[in-house]
Structure 1
């Protein structure tokens, strides 16, 4: 399947500050400025790579806490666990 050739250029005037913001947002998503703007203008969903990385970090942390809890359950005798939980 052959992709359509992009032949038309859209032109828009922006300030240096606006361009800087657009460039930064594109970088966060991992897209070029051109691809980022194309997706925005066509209404496609844009997901930030930073949000995805934070989500994956939270999942890893949750798994680590689960493993830690499992280790504590096997290591600590029941009486000592109850003493620690009451504090």
Structure 2
């Protein structure tokens, strides 16, 4: 069955285009803004012009970073728990359990928490 002219939907490529005059710096900024939200400059400007809310992909990237940092904290906590509860295995492996080792691990955990806190502040 053949489509009639009534049934054919117009596409944007076949529609008239819109020209936007801007300075080179403005064009670069629009390009950066579009890239930050994962859109082409054309799609970005169309969405802004139509009044749509632009949703950033940066938020999802930050959430991914937080998940990685949280996993690091879990691994470090598990290691600390192993050191504190299973002295026999450490002795058999020739490792010595020292206060300095625990303090170094705690400092590392605190550093990771600081990275996580900075990521949360960005959200």
Same fold, judged at TM 0.5 (above): yes
Which whole-Å deviations, capped at 9, do the CAs of 1:2-22 have from their partners, x for residues lacking one?
875121322221111111100
Map of 1:9 onto structure 2: 17
Matches within 5 A, 1:1-87: 4-6=10-12, 7-77=15-85
> Taking structure 1 as reference, are residues 36 and 15 closer, same or farther at Cα in structure 2, changes over 3 Å only?
same
Number of residues of Structure 1 aligned to a counterpart in Structure 2: 81
Bigger Rg, structure 1 or 2: 2
Q: Relative to structure 1, is the Cα distance of residues 49 and 3 closer, same or farther in structure 2, using a 3 angstrom cutoff?
A: farther
Unaligned runs of 5+ in 1: none
Superposed structure 1 runs of 4+ greater than 6 Å apart: none
Per the TM alignment, residue 28 of structure 1 is displaced from its structure 2 partner at its CA by 1.7
TM-score (norm 2): 0.53
TM-score, normalising length: structure 1 = 0.70
Pairwise CA RMSD of aligned residues?
Answer: 2.8
Q: 1:15 to 1:63 in 2, by over 3 A?
A: same
TM-aligned CA deviation for residue 57 of structure 1 = 0.7
List runs of 5+ in structure 2 lacking aligned partners.
Answer: 1-7, 86-96, 104-123
